[in-house]
């Protein structure tokens, strides 16, 4: 079979390739016109680039998408999905009937590619993400599972303006990723008009070469020129190559070719266009298959020998994160860690020291940090990403898209909240819970002590989707036994009695403030219940409902802005029409400055005294109402 | 006065500059040691760069920070704040006593600079933001208020890895901003170790030159070499200049100089260090003042002749945004608009066509898009930024920092929610309400028709802080009179009776679904109240409380993920311990694919039928409970 494929591919002459490119154009015109929307012209510019790639260079077994030797093709300009689907059709992977289901409800052929299609590694459509993720895939093939697969990224020219592309350029150039080829479809026109550099290929080449890449320019509508460029890319052994292809948007159809105002829509007259392109074809390509390859073994579910902290010991949860990750990494050889040049702060340095071969320094480039991890999980690795919680906002769009990609990814954000102290608001994660909660399918965890943190790190290693762990800078006393379990979706009841007047719901640093407040209030004859809601998403609905029923009022206290955090999260247990409890919310409503951690908690009104005062007010008001 | 300043500055010899640099080091050591935290070594590497700048190049009136002719100095490496404060002291702007209040509660001298200090334009501390914002300030001086001020940005070498820096490089190079100088303090060491390029200045120079800049390298500890570099920067008239300075972290104190592990902390022995640096000095610099200059006139509060839409007319709120912005821009010459290469989609193209001199195409680089706007508001302009709501996540960190900068900024996110239809999840803003609500001091608006949109655009032009407007792709019927007012913090009661069984709280597209559901339910004998909660932050607490009291249950329905959006926002009215109503939340819980807008609303369970069904269930359950 492999032999035949080789013969077939070798026999494909330039005329066949030109015809194949026309077929892709025709199919893009047909799919978009049938759908009544979609990006015909952006597909047409890159059709010849795709034809040469599919027929002569890509090594891929469409019958076995999980083949560890498969090349990776990432269409960064995801809006050109009709081109990708046309290529799948030529490869025999989708039928013409499915092609024409493009953009219909239930179809796998979405407006922008997603991994609902087994041959799509990651969702694209937010521009400037394909190359960053491709770097992670290519890096895996160099430093984790050395294999001869190649990574091909097809990007548009407009998206070269995204900073994330240059983070990726730097990363790939620095790592010398010769197994990575970027193909830039320079069709001159963005969505609303010409790009900055239009057809000045050298403007792109200068920039890319400066970042340590090889570049080659070609005529993106001449199969021989494209072939020569791809061949040159294969011949470069010490660095990645960018193929800069001069193309025309809407190539081949006079009504739209190289014309403004034709972005993101079907051609005006599909029948005429198909005729102009030489009619419907049904060419097939026998895509070359990769050689035999073995997937790296990934031992999941191993019981790690986690660090254990003694009750009363002062431990920063960021420390516990680093120590637990290093421990989990001992048995789980699939775990990799990536950090944004702050591993001494996030404590991923513990992992780095123990497992240097599986630690990746991504420097201060948070988009590329997350993208590299997404690329690695494409290859079956289990990545843990860490940086300051505040700086994860830099990667928000990549995190959002990771969810669309159905990626499995663990993220740890350190230095959460005002409790970091003197550094001030630029370094404080005060929006991270809101950001991560709103991402589809996410899990959000916020432990308050070392043992809880260690257990949750182990949980994350076996989890699905996006898992976020929020850690704190300062030390706090260990309150849990090392043997205690912390299931996702659980909580801990730390204080309770039959006479509780209210329930304080806390997480992370505020758990300790809540306990102090409860002890103080108990001394005043005001018993209160305290819940450690370490699982912020999903929340422990049963525990919250029971607390609401028993005490009538939930007081939430969090080191986060009032919106989208813990205070909003508890409501997840009460949005089905059942009676809701009274609610009191303590959160960071001020704009912090510099101050000690203790002063910060006091200024924000989330320390033990603020909690106690709010409880006293509530009790007084209830008493007054009762009287 | 200006003359004397000139004489003084000219008379400063290199020995004085070297002494001034030492003074800055001493003061950085003293401030950090007194505080017990802070970045001494990062201040020391850039001390000579700051000394030459302050004494010979900067033109700034410290007595009049608002002087329109003032230069702008942005310390992008904000962690080196002790250096900045030491410079302010030498300029006579802060006392030695205030210097030693560094990082104390209440002090203006925060861990990272913020505009609590009148000479600080924008907060820094999240790396890679100073240059992007500086581009906006410099661009204003070229294209909006042509003036001879210069923009000086001092950055670290680590932060050159941030993609946002390269977005800014491209923008500044393309615009030929000769009034912008970037000074890179190449001290070789990042937080946890060496940078990628260490002291390879040419690695930086090659990259920066490729983006159309002039570069000059210098010895960052030799005043003469620094002076020559700055002088060369001034002599370049057609492009921005980057000064690449080779420096040593912790320069001048053997215990820390060029050593790893010395980032972000005081020197081990302050007294010894001060001795090694030659002791405490009290040198003063008479900073040159700018020439006479007039600030551009900014006519606020003008009553714009807004577009008016007739009842029943089908209008997309994104269209109304563009038309209203163009209208407001007619009288308000301070309004500028910026877009991320999608002005034909966001409809900021209406403004661009009518006011091309005040429209800025920022291409697909959302961080630079927001940063340019932040830079323009520094100069007194009133910016409106637009792109797809989904892609604003790309600029989350810049939006967060804009709040710390106390920046005044309006942002419009189009294509919100699943209702965009076929394009699929990558293009859908489903996290934007959560993101903007959680930003300190923000205003979040989500209108449902053209007239409401137009009025809210006018409100935004007069607002403070960060104002977000969420717009929709599809058309919807006009339901409000053009004369209707839409104050921030308000809402509209669209259906009500004495017998309402429940209140549907909707915004944007779901208002129309809610009205359809209400009409259907009314026909079934189930009257429901409908509130258009167009102001998502702040919410109309009075209206929500009244609705809760009268109907007992709030059903929220939103085209957004369930977390952090409208459903959470209504709770803002019930977090003071008062009885909360029953809550039912309809939101986008599925991962959408492609489908028509109508199908998307149905699949997500947020259309009229889903609302009606939820109401019927509630009524049935209430009836059962009553029986």
- Note the pLDDT tens digit of each residue in B440-486: 999 999 999 999 999 999 999 999 999 999 999 999 999 999 999 99
Provide the CB-side half-sphere exposure for B548 (13 A, CA).
Answer: 22
Q: Model confidence over A172-202: pLDDT tens digits? A: 999 999 999 999 999 999 999 999 999 999 9
Band of residue A294 on the pLDDT scale cut at 50, 70, 90: confident
Q: Return the closest-CA partner of residue B518 out of B555, B567, B464.
A: B555
Out of A133-142, A288-297, A309-318, least confident range: A288-297
Boundaries of every domain in chain A: 14-276, 314-477, 492-626
Q: Would you give the DSSP letter of residue A116?
A: T
Secondary structure element (H or E) that encloses residue A491, with its range:
none
Any bridge partners for residue B241, and if so which? B181, B214
Q: How far is CA B383 from CA A202, A483, B171, B332, B411, in A?
A: 34, 56, 17, 11, 8
Structure tokens at B29: 């050591």
Residue A398 CB neighbour total at 10 angstroms: 29
Q: Model confidence over A601-616: pLDDT tens digits? A: 999 999 999 999 999 9
Classified as helix, coil or strand, A399 is: helix
Q: Which residues of A321-330 are buried (b: 16+ CB within 10 A; e: fewer)?
A: bbbbbbbbbe
Q: Return the closest-CA partner of residue B265 out of B21, B44, B36.
A: B36
- In terms of C-beta density within 10 A (0-12 exposed, 13-18 middle, 19 or more buried), how is residue A361 classed? middle
Q: Which CATH homologous superfamily contains domain A14-276?
A: Thiamin diphosphate (ThDP)-binding fold, Pyr/PP domains (3.40.50.970)
Contacts of A38 in chain B (CB under 8 A): 422
pLDDT score, position B627: 53
Contacts of A344 in chain B (CB under 8 A): 191-192
Q: Please indicate whether, in this complex, the C-beta atoms of A584 and B576 are within 8 angstroms of each other.
A: yes
Q: How far is CA A285 from CA A85, A151, B228, in A?
A: 14, 20, 62
What's chain A's average pLDDT?
A: 95
d(CA A179, CA A195): 29
Classified as helix, coil or strand, A74 is: strand
Q: Return the closest-CA partner of residue A600 out of A388, A417, A389, A414.
A: A417
Question: Is A166 an interface residue toward B (CB < 8 Å)?
Answer: yes
Band of residue B9 on the pLDDT scale cut at 50, 70, 90: very low
- In terms of C-beta density within 10 A (0-12 exposed, 13-18 middle, 19 or more buried), how is residue A11 classed? exposed
pLDDT score, position A3: 40
Which residues neighbour B460 within 8 Å (Cβ) at sequence distance 6 or greater?
Answer: B384, B410, B443, B445, B467, B469
Residue A146 CB neighbour total at 10 angstroms: 10
Structure tokens at A291: 């050689």
Report the catalytic residues of A. 366
In which order are the strands placed within the sheet that holds A466-470?
Answer: A359-361, A335-339, A382-388, A409-414, A466-470, A443-445, A535-537
pLDDT score, position B353: 98
Determine the straight-line distance between the first and last CA of chain B, rounded to whole angstroms: 88
d(CA B589, CA B557): 12
Beta strands B409-414; B529-532: pairing state:
unpaired
Radius of gyration, CA atoms only, chain A:
28
Any bridge partners for residue A243, and if so which? A183, A216
- In terms of C-beta density within 10 A (0-12 exposed, 13-18 middle, 19 or more buried), how is residue A510 classed? buried
- Interface list for A 372-431 with B (CB within 8 A): 390-391, 393-394, 396-397, 400-401, 403-404, 421-427, 430-431
Q: Please answer whether residues B222 and B206 qualify as being in contact, where contact means their C-beta atoms are separated by less than 8 angstroms.
A: no
Q: Model confidence over A208-261: pLDDT tens digits? A: 999 999 999 999 999 999 999 999 999 999 999 999 999 999 999 999 999 999
**Averaged pLDDT, A76-82:** 98
d(CA A267, CA A273): 7
Structure tokens at B614: 């939820």
Q: Model confidence over B356-404: pLDDT tens digits? A: 999 999 999 999 999 999 999 999 999 999 999 999 999 999 999 999 9
Classified as helix, coil or strand, B319 is: helix
A530, pLDDT greater than 90: yes
A158, pLDDT greater than 90: yes
d(CA A155, CA A65): 22
Band of residue B3 on the pLDDT scale cut at 50, 70, 90: very low
Q: What percent of chain A has pLDDT over 90?
A: 94
pLDDT score, position B298: 60
Q: Return the closest-CA partner of residue B430 out of B515, B535, B509, B345.
A: B509
A2, pLDDT greater than 80: no
- B592 against A9, higher pLDDT: B592
Radius of gyration, CA atoms only, chain B:
28
Helices (H), A430-581: 432-437, 450-461, 509-523, 541-551, 566-569
Q: Please indicate whether, in this complex, the C-beta atoms of A430 and B438 are within 8 angstroms of each other.
A: yes
pLDDT score, position B623: 80
- Same fold flag, A14-276 and A492-626: yes
Determine the straight-line distance between the first and last CA of chain A, rounded to whole angstroms: 88
Read off φ and ψ for residue B189, nearest 5 degrees.
-115, 125
Q: Model confidence over A267-286: pLDDT tens digits? A: 999 999 999 999 999 999 99
Q: Return the closest-CA partner of residue B94 out of B31, B156, B36.
A: B31
- In terms of C-beta density within 10 A (0-12 exposed, 13-18 middle, 19 or more buried), how is residue B164 classed? buried
pLDDT score, position A297: 59
pLDDT score, position A302: 55
Could you please state the CATH topology (level 3) that the domain comprising A492-626 is classified under: Rossmann fold (3.40.50)
**Averaged pLDDT, A164-175:** 98
Q: Which residue has the tokens 């299931």?
A: A487
Which residue of B392, B425, B561, B618 to mutate against A (max A Cβ within 10 Å)?
B425
Band of residue B302 on the pLDDT scale cut at 50, 70, 90: low
Any bridge partners for residue B184, and if so which? B155, B244
Structure tokens at B324: 């209203």
Residue B194 CB neighbour total at 10 angstroms: 12
From the list A164, A341, A397, which residue is nearest B190 (CB)? A341
Q: Model confidence over B312-344: pLDDT tens digits? A: 999 999 999 999 999 999 999 999 999 999 999
d(CA B18, CA B137): 30
A7, pLDDT greater than 50: no
Q: Please indicate whether, in this complex, the C-beta atoms of A582 and B584 are within 8 angstroms of each other.
A: no
Any bridge partners for residue B154, and if so which? B75, B183
d(CA B421, CA B559): 12
Q: Please answer whether residues B425 and B591 qualify as being in contact, where contact means their C-beta atoms are separated by less than 8 angstroms.
A: yes
pLDDT score, position B67: 96
Q: Please indicate whether, in this complex, the C-beta atoms of A621 and B577 are within 8 angstroms of each other.
A: yes
B575, pLDDT greater than 80: yes
Which residues neighbour A478 within 8 Å (Cβ) at sequence distance 6 or greater?
Answer: A309, A310, A311, A312, A313, A314, A315, A449, A450, A451
Q: Model confidence over B513-546: pLDDT tens digits? A: 999 999 999 999 999 999 999 999 999 999 999 9
- CA–CA min distance A616, chain B (Å): 12
Question: Is A584 an interface residue toward B (CB < 8 Å)?
Answer: yes
B555, pLDDT greater than 80: yes
Nearest residue of chain B to residue A579 (CA atoms):
B582
Catalytic site residue B366? yes
Read off φ and ψ for residue B623, nearest 5 degrees.
-60, -45
d(CA A398, CA A279): 40
d(CA A626, CA A180): 72
pLDDT score, position A380: 96
pTM of the model: 0.97
Question: Is A260 an interface residue toward B (CB < 8 Å)?
Answer: no
From the list B116, B166, B591, which residue is nearest A163 (CB)? B166
Band of residue B299 on the pLDDT scale cut at 50, 70, 90: low
Provide the CB-side half-sphere exposure for A174 (13 A, CA).
Answer: 18
Q: Return the closest-CA partner of residue A41 out of A184, A167, A189.
A: A189
pLDDT score, position B357: 97
A4, pLDDT greater than 50: no
Q: What percent of chain A has pLDDT over 70?
A: 96
Could you please state the CATH topology (level 3) that the domain comprising B314-477 is classified under: Rossmann fold (3.40.50)
A452, pLDDT greater than 80: yes
Indicate the angle between helix axes A608-626 and A597-604, nearest 10 degrees: 20
Q: What is the secondary structure of A86-105 as a DSSP string?
A: HHHHHTTSS-HHHHTTTT-T
d(CA A123, CA A110): 10
Q: Model confidence over A327-338: pLDDT tens digits? A: 999 989 999 999
d(CA A517, CA A342): 34
d(CA A414, CA A434): 15
d(CA A450, CA A486): 12
- Interface list for A 548-567 with B (CB within 8 A): 553, 561-565, 567
**Averaged pLDDT, B573-583:** 96
pLDDT score, position B4: 40
Band of residue A292 on the pLDDT scale cut at 50, 70, 90: confident
- CA–CA min distance B584, chain A (Å): 5
What is the value of ipTM here, to two decimals?
Answer: 0.97
Band of residue B296 on the pLDDT scale cut at 50, 70, 90: low
Provide the CB-side half-sphere exposure for B619 (13 A, CA).
Answer: 18
């Amino acid at each position: 079979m492999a032999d035949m494929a080789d013969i077939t591919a070798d026999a494909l002459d330039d005329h066949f390739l030109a015809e194949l490119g026309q077929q892709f154009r025709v199919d893009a015109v047909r799919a978009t016109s049938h759908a009544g929307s979609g990006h015909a012209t952006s597909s047409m510019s890159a059709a010849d680039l795709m034809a040469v790639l599919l027929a002569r260079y890509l090594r891929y077994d469409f019958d076995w998408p999980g083949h560890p030797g498969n090349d990776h093709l990432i269409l960064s300009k995801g809006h050109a999905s009709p081109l990708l689907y046309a290529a799948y059709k030529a490869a025999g992977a989708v039928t013409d009937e499915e092609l024409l289901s493009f953009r219909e409800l239930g179809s796998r052929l979405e407006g922008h590619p997603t991994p609902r299609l087994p041959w799509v590694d990651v969702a694209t459509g937010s521009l400037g993400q394909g190359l960053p993720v491709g770097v992670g895939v290519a890096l895996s093939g160099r430093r984790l599972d050395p294999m001869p697969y190649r990574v091909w990224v097809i990007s548009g020219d407009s998206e070269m303006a995204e900073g994330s592309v240059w983070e990726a350029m730097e990363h790939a150039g620095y790592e010398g990723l010769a197994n990575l080829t970027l193909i830039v479809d320079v069709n001159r026109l963005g969505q609303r008009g010409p790009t900055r550099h239009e057809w000045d290929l050298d403007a792109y080449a200068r920039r890319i070469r400066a970042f340590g890449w090889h570049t080659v320019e070609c005529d993106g509508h001449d199969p021989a020129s494209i072939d020569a460029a791809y061949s040159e890319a294969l011949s470069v052994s010490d660095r990645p190559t960018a193929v800069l292809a001069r193309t025309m948007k809407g190539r081949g159809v006079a009504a739209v070719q190289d014309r403004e105002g034709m972005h993101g829509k079907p051609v005006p007259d599909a029948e005429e266009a198909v005729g102009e392109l030489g009619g419907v074809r049904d060419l097939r390509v026998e895509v070359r298959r990769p050689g035999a390859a073995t997937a790296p073994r990934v031992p999941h579910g191993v019981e790690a020998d986690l660090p254990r902290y003694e009750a009363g010991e002062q431990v920063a949860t960021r420390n516990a994160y680093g120590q637990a990750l290093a421990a989990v990494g001992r048995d789980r050889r699939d775990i990799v860690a990536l950090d944004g040049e702050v591993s001494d702060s996030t404590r991923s340095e513990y992992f780095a020291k123990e497992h240097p071969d599986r630690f990746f320094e991504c420097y201060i480039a948070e988009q590329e940090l997350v993208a590299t991890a997404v690329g690695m999980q494409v290859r079956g690795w289990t990545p843990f990403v860490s940086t300051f919680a505040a700086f994860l906002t830099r990667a928000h769009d990549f995190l959002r898209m990771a969810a669309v990609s159905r990626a499995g990814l663990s993220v740890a954000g350190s230095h959460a909240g005002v409790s970091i102290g003197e550094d001030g608001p630029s370094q404080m994660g005060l929006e991270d819970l809101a950001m991560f909660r709103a991402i589809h399918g996410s899990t959000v965890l916020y432990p308050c002590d070392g043992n809880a943190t260690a257990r949750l790190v182990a949980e994350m290693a076996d989890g699905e989707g996006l898992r976020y762990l929020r850690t704190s800078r300062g030390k706090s006393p260990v309150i849990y036994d090392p043997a205690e379990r912390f299931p996702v979706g659980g909580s801990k009841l730390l204080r309770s009695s039959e006479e509780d007047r209210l329930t304080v719901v806390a997480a992370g640093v505020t758990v300790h403030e809540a306990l102090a407040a409860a002890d103080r209030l108990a001394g005043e004859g005001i018993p209160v219940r305290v819940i450690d809601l370490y699982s912020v998403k999903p929340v422990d609905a049963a525990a919250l409902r029971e607390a609401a029923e028993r005490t009538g009022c939930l007081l939430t206290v969090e080191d986060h802005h009032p919106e989208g955090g813990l205070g909003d999260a508890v409501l997840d247990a009460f949005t089905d029409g059942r009676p809701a409890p009274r609610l009191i919310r303590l959160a960071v409503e001020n704009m912090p400055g510099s101050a000690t951690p203790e002063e910060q908690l006091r200024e924000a009104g989330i320390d033990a005294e603020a909690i106690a005062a709010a409880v006293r007010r509530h009790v007084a008001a209830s008493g007054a109402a009762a009287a």
